[in-house]
Amino acid sequence: MPYDPENVFAKILRDEIPSTRVYEDNEFIAIRDVNPAAPTHILLIPRGDGPVSPANLGDPDAAWVGRMVVLATQIARQQGLEEDGYRLVMNCGRDGGQSVPHLHLHILGGRALHGFG
């Protein structure tokens, strides 16, 4: 599936849709989810016309995806989630729960998160 520059995250990245940003740098932004699944629900979004989903990742993406995961743990720590724990989620495709065709990582915490592994 080709990248759609009109997806909601692309519009947020261009400031066409307002968001509550908790972090940003030249590679990523982190925003509060408008429909949170946990008391703390932050979306970490890479800038640019990046991969549509994790299925589009390859070996050349390893370094920036690694930075994305490290950044997610730093944001979780800043949000006070480290002591009790948190979940990092990257959905892939419709059946995997991906609703926006722009790769992103969910940071979830603030309560017990059961149901997986």
Range 8-109: architecture per CATH? 2-Layer Sandwich (3.30)
Rounded Cα distance, 81 and 76, in Å? 5
pTM of the model: 0.94
Decide if pLDDT at 40 tops 90: yes
> Choosing from 41, 102, 104, 106, which is the catalytic residue?
104
Q: Can you tell me the mean pLDDT for 17-41?
A: 97
3-state secondary structure of 21: strand
Rounded Cα distance, 3 and 51, in Å? 7
pLDDT tens by residue, 58-111: 999 999 999 999 999 999 999 999 999 999 999 999 999 999 999 999 999 999
pLDDT tens by residue, 51-61: 999 999 999 99
> Is 114 assigned a catalytic role?
no
3-state secondary structure of 11: helix
Domain residue spans of the chain: 8-109
Decide if pLDDT at 1 tops 90: no
Strands (E) in the chain, as ranges, are 21-24, 28-32, 40-46, 86-89, 105-109
